[in-house]
Amino acid sequence: MPELLDRIDQLYRAESAKVLAALTRIFGVENIELAEDTVQEAFSKALKHWKEHGEPKNPGGWLMQTAKNHAIDVIRANKNKHRFADDLTHFLESEWTLARTVEREFSEEAIKDDTLRMIFWCCHPNMKPENQLPVILKLLCGFSLNAISRALLVPEETIKKRLHRTRNQLKLYAFNQPSPEHIEQALDTVHVSLYLLFNEGVYCSDGKKAIDIDFCREAMALVGVLVETPHIANRETLALYALMHFHMARLEARTDADGNPIPLDLQDRGLWDPNRVGMGQQYVALATLNMHETLSDTGRFCCEALIAQEHCIAKTFELTNWQKVEAYYSRLIDVSASPIAKLNQAIAIAYQGDEQRALQRVAAIQAKHGMEHSHLPFAILAHIHAKSGNSAEAYQFAEEAKRRGGTQQEQQLMLAQIERLLVRE
């Protein structure tokens, strides 16, 4: 029984978003709860049937057929209570066309289109980030309320309320792919949303673990849907996919046996996945094809992918091309005005041997970018001073960084790096 439940859970995560996308298209956005209930019922039938008869040879196809049959039953039972998708209502109300219409909407091509609709719908630009991530995890990734609660460190009741509010808001928006004149703006929002989902996996907010691989895989799968749609994907889509490949390539080397993070300069590069690195390089090449050499036409994710590529192709940490990294950060700063990018650029400057310019850069960031209360500039100042052999200053800034925040893992890593750098000096 536990094995069967695990199998059903795996299939739910893999298939539920496609089924829900098709049902949302058929039922209409105003009936999203009915669509979700129908998905749940289909999987409940699977659990009951498979307990008695065993798993079928094609479980995904079996689930799709069950969902189609149940959808037809739901439409028949609710045709006088609910109005379904406007352009399909006429065909769903007639017994002559009901089954054929549902069958057509469950075709492979229709489900692919509906999954794209679902991605843009859940990543609508009017959605607040704190509401967007739970709805992506629930509707697009098939996470349970409990799993979302545990992953985001938010009480389950709070997640439930957010999802309720978000569903009501989503009902105001059309379940459509963006028009050509709006596609760039819509894609920007989708890219950022899926990037945040991926980052939640790579830099897990759960202090008990450093990485949540499920978030990473789900985000990559959704970006993959965009990449496989040529009329949708743009340079930034390809670059974001490349960036995710570079991060995934290094995941195994990022933590030790106890789950503690390992800094980049100490990671065993033999554990990096060369296939992932190679895929990342190919997508970077596609994203930057015919791009101006000055990088004036690069976007945020192109810059980040180029930076990640430099780290991945360096044979050792010491052989990293820090001049290129600094240049890519300059463009990223132009595009994003991110103070975090400026702090990271300061590190690249320090590793070129110009610690004084790096220290000045961090001080300027603290003064002008509203980071005077953040722990990050102090942690970086501690790192740079340790690299220069200034032990007193390094520990002084480290203590200030600890006082201002950061997770316990971040603080432990910071102190370990300082001690290692001072020993080298």
Q: Say how many C-beta atoms besides its own lie within 10 A of residue 98's C-beta.
A: 18
Surface-to-core class of residue 358, CB atoms within 10 Å of its CB (0-12 exposed, 13-18 middle, 19+ buried): buried
**Residue-level pLDDT at 37:** 93
Percent of the chain residues topping a pLDDT of 70: 96
Where does the pLDDT of residue 422 fall: very low under 50, low under 70, confident under 90, or very high at 90 and above? confident
Pick from 56-60, 116-120, 233-237, 416-420: least confident = 56-60
Has residue 277 got a pLDDT over 60?
Answer: yes
Has residue 71 got a pLDDT over 70?
Answer: yes
More confident residue, 146 or 172: 172
DSSP 181: T
Has residue 424 got a pLDDT over 90?
Answer: no
Q: Domain locations in the chain?
A: 1-106, 353-425
**Residue-level pLDDT at 221:** 92
Where does the pLDDT of residue 373 fall: very low under 50, low under 70, confident under 90, or very high at 90 and above? confident
Q: Mind giving me the DSSP string for 9-60?
A: HHHHHHHHHHHHHHHHHHH-GGGHHHHHHHHHHHHHHHHHHHHHH---SSHH
What is the average per-residue pLDDT within 138-158? 85
What is the average per-residue pLDDT within 387-416? 89
**Residue-level pLDDT at 302:** 95
Q: Say how many C-beta atoms besides its own lie within 10 A of residue 40's C-beta.
A: 13
Where does the pLDDT of residue 315 fall: very low under 50, low under 70, confident under 90, or very high at 90 and above? very high
Q: Mind giving me the DSSP string for 199-238?
A: HHHHT-S-TT-S--HHHHHHHHHHHHHHHT-TTT--HHHH
DSSP-based three-state secondary structure for 341: helix
Phi, psi at residue 125, to the nearest 5°? -60, -20
Q: In 168-184, which positions are buried (b, 16+ CB within 10 angstroms) versus exposed (e)? A: eebeeeebebbeeeeee
Pick from 80-89, 110-119, 174-183, 196-205: least confident = 196-205
What is the average per-residue pLDDT within 362-370? 80
Sequence-separated (6 or more) residues with CB below 8 Å from residue 233? 226, 227
Give residue-wise pLDDT tens across range 402-418.
Answer: 998 887 878 888 888 89
The amino acid that residue 298 corresponds to is T
What is the average per-residue pLDDT within 111-121? 94
**Residue-level pLDDT at 1:** 59
**Residue-level pLDDT at 207:** 47
Sequence-separated (6 or more) residues with CB below 8 Å from residue 381? 359, 362, 393, 397
More confident residue, 242 or 254: 242
What is the average per-residue pLDDT within 91-120? 92
Can you give the pTM of this predicted structure?
0.87
Per the prediction, the chain carries an average pLDDT of 88
What is the average per-residue pLDDT within 368-387? 87
Has residue 282 got a pLDDT over 50?
Answer: yes
What is the average per-residue pLDDT within 20-32? 94
What is the average per-residue pLDDT within 45-73? 86
Give residue-wise pLDDT tens across range 174-216.
Answer: 999 888 888 988 999 999 989 988 887 777 544 445 447 888 8
The first and second tokens of residue 392, run together, are 């007193």
Where does the pLDDT of residue 2 fall: very low under 50, low under 70, confident under 90, or very high at 90 and above? low
DSSP-based three-state secondary structure for 273: coil
**Residue-level pLDDT at 197:** 86
